[in-house]
Chains A and B, each alone.
Chain A
Amino acid sequence: MHAPSSVPTLAVSARGVVKRFGELTAVNEVEIEIPRGVCYGLLGPNGAGKTTLSKMIAAVLPRDGGELKVLGLDPWTEQSEVKARLGVVMQGDVFDEDLDVGRNLEIYGRFYGLSGPAFREKVQGLLKFVSLEGRERGPVQALSGGMRRRLMIARALINDPEVLILDEPTTGLDPQVRHAIWGTLRQLKQRGLSILLTTHYMEEAAQLADRIGILFKGKLIAEDTPEKLIAAHLPPWVLEFDAQGQEALLEEFAQAASVERHGDRAFVFHAVEDTLRRWIAKGAFRTALVRPASLEDVFLKLTGRTLDE
């Protein structure tokens, strides 16, 4: 549907993008490039500026500085043209509470200039795609959290977008629904959509994202493929255990390996799996395990100090 040959080749490109709210710089000189067809995962702790950045890209919020292009267009000065080609799933469900499920899609279509019998058929197709057929004439208030998110996704697809912006699409959903939504997103990715996916679930990012950026206090502090991100910041293996009462041992490990502590859990990173397995025998650990280093470890390492400060 969207051949890569079409110009421009970047779905999103940001250079030095800044957003301030009064004294606070919510997004601080961020550089991002999302090539077409790529799923870009945006991670970051609460308040890092993910939603603010997404909204600027979604042409919903003006920026205070820097250069931002979406599909080669300026999302503020050419906002209608940009928004005509985007699909947005916002954090929190913002539906038109005065309209029923079907009308929420139909009326939204009109904002893109879509109406008529062919479009109504498409609405039916979308409701089916997100397993909401039969709910059409019901109020949106009667939908469960998972159904509402699926309706949001259906609404975001109404204009056959080239770029999808998803802000925490699966937060608060049960594992089944989450997997169903991941399946949906994978299908969309195969169709060639470019996706900006903001999430707090590392597994979600690891499963869907081709590239990952970590936003911290408005700054993009790391960016790469999931594998390279892990390789660049941590040894490949980690020994994880309950840190309470293990201070002496932790000091000893710290001589030969890098040690991180988050809450009551201790994480000892090392290049050699067998070494860590031998170390397990050293202490009477509760709930100890050796596993490959994960995206979550990188995330905690790079952003984990916030709560101590």
Chain B
Amino acid sequence: MSDAAVRRAPGRIVRVLAVWYRHWRVYSNTFVANATPAVLEPTFLLVAVGLGLGRFIHQEFNGLEYSSFMAAGVLGSTCMYTASFESTYGAFIRLRYQKAYEGMLATPLTRADIFAGELLWCGSKGLLFSTIVCLVLALFGKVHTPWAVLVPAIGFFTSLLFGGLGFCVTSCVQNINHFQFYFTIGLTPLILFSGLMFPVQDLPYGLEYVAYALPMFHVIETFRLVVSGPAHSSVPWAWACPFVVLGLAGAFGTLGVRRMVGRLKA
């Protein structure tokens, strides 16, 4: 055989996209079953809490009626939960029970390719879901600026952030039940204290400064910038929030992939 005929490994980008494609293939088989709850849940939240409870709340938040105030938070929580489930339960099951990764490792894929592809998939799911939720919001008249076309991109990076964070958790977890701690102790407070239900400025005891340190605050403010407009931001420096989200997405994404690579080596 001449050297020209030797099979070469595909480049990194092709390999990572192939992993992405694997997830897409699996997912698209059960698209309706998977996407329906992911879209219905935020819709219920908006209808029940925003429109229902909101009728009793006559105060304006950040100059918005209650359901409009909630819109950004609904987008943020959708991405957070989508990416978190995929990168914790999803990744753990593939790692432990299905051994999907073991077969993939026999191909030119490296460990880093596998998890980079998976993170990319988390981002894509967030992109898709935030887009759909944004359309639902628009249907209810909760989208006030044309900058909302940026929602898919924000959804993508938000999901990279929470996907990376989820990977960090998965890389330490030995028992699938332990993810419950992450969801109740780690993620639920993010929903409650990051300005989804009420503005963080109203938090007592200086807790608002704690909120500023949470990634979710920056995610929600970023969504609020493009859905409601800068006039309705919680803080005057809200313009910085998108950059914080980008930075955290890069940092947690990289760290998460590294941690999972380390775990799969063992």
Interface of A toward B, CB cutoff 8 Å: 1-3, 6, 58, 60, 62, 79-81, 83-86, 88, 90, 94-99, 103, 107-108, 110-113, 155-156, 159-160, 162
Contact = CB atoms under 8 A, between A and B. Distances in A.
Contacts of B107: 83, 108, 111-112, 159
Contacts of A111: 10, 15, 18-19, 104, 107-109
Nearest to B109: A111
A62 B10 CA distance: 21
Contacts of B29: 98
A111 B110 CA distance: 10
Contacts of B110: 79-80
Given A62-B265, A98-B26, A112-B10, A83 B98 contact: no
A62 B111 CA distance: 12
B100 A160 contact: no
Contact of B21 (A62, A79, A107): A107
A83 B9 contact: yes
Interface string B6-24: 1111100011001101100
A90 B107 CA distance: 12
A3 B1 contact: yes
A83 B106 contact: yes
Contacts, number: 92
B25 interface: yes
A197 to B, nearest CB: 16
B108 A112 contact: yes
Given A1-B1, A84-B9, A96 B106 contact: no
A98 B27 CA distance: 9
A236 B1 CA distance: 41
A160 B106 contact: no
Nearest to A86: B106
Contact of A96 (B18, B100, B105, B108): B100
B141 interface: no
B41 interface: no
Interface string B203-239: 0000000000000000000000000000000000000
Nearest to B29: A98
Most buried by B among A88, A94, A155, A162: A94
Interface of B: 1-3, 6-10, 14-15, 18-19, 21-22, 25-26, 29, 98-100, 102-110, 265
B8 A81 contact: yes
A83 B108 contact: yes
SS class, residues of chain A in contact with chain B = loop
Nearest to A92: B99
A156 B106 CA distance: 9
B3 A6 contact: yes
Given A90-B106, A108-B107, A6 B100 contact: no
Contacts of B2: 6
B103 A95 contact: yes
Contacts of A113: 9-10, 14-15, 18, 108
Nearest to B8: A84
A108 B106 CA distance: 10
A103 B18 CA distance: 13
Contacts of B98: 96-98
Contacts of B106: 58, 60, 83, 86, 88, 90, 156
B103 A84 contact: no
A6 B108 CA distance: 22
Nearest to A111: B107
Given A90-B106, A113-B14, A159 B99 contact: no
Contacts of A110: 18, 21-22
A149 B47 CA distance: 52
Contacts of B6: 85
A94 B103 contact: yes
A3 B6 CA distance: 12
Contact of A6 (B1, B10, B105): B1
Contact of B9 (A60, A80, A94, A95): A80
Given A80-B110, A99-B25, 16 more contacts: A80-B15, A80-B108, A81-B108, A83-B9, A90-B103, A94-B99, A94-B103, A96-B22, A97-B98, A98-B26, A107-B18, A111-B108, A112-B9, A112-B10, A112-B108, A159-B107
A108 B108 CA distance: 10
